């Protein structure tokens, strides 16, 4: 396989893992919620920049089962932001 493509895939996987790790490493729910909001902001900046590979990586981190199950943390995120994330997920799959 092409080494540059594999390097890009590995890098994006590491970005997803780094985001997941940093969110889960934060023990305080409010701080974890603030970090989650920052990641969501980054996701939409990436969308504006049309950085679709990195956007997919961030989106994958947000969709990770360990992150998805943080119900108390997700309660701190605005409903509008949650809907926006869902629209990005839908457009990411089409």
Q: Write the pLDDT tens digit of every residue in 29-72.
A: 999 999 999 999 999 999 999 999 999 999 999 999 999 999 99
Q: How many domains does the chain have?
A: 1
Lowest mean pLDDT among 9-13, 14-18, 19-23, 84-88: 84-88
CATH number at residue 13: 1.10.840.10
Query: Which residue would you say has higher pLDDT here, 92 or 81?
Result: 81
How is 64-79 classified by DSSP, letter by letter?
Answer: SHHHHT-HHHHTTS-H
CB neighbourhood size of 80 (10 A): 8
Give dist(CA 94, CA 91) in Å, integer: 5
Q: Which residues form the domain of 15?
A: 3-92
């Amino acid at each position: 396989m092409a080494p540059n493509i594999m390097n890009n895939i590995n890098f994006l996987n590491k970005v997803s893992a780094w985001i997941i790790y940093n969110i889960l490493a934060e023990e305080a729910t409010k701080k974890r919620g603030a970090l989650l909001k920052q990641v969501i902001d980054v996701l939409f900046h990436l969308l504006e920049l049309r950085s679709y590979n990195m956007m997919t990586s961030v989106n994958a981190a947000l969709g990770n089962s360990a992150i998805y199950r943080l119900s108390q943390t997700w309660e701190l995120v605005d409903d509008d932001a949650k809907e926006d994330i869902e629209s990005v997920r839908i457009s990411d799959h089409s």
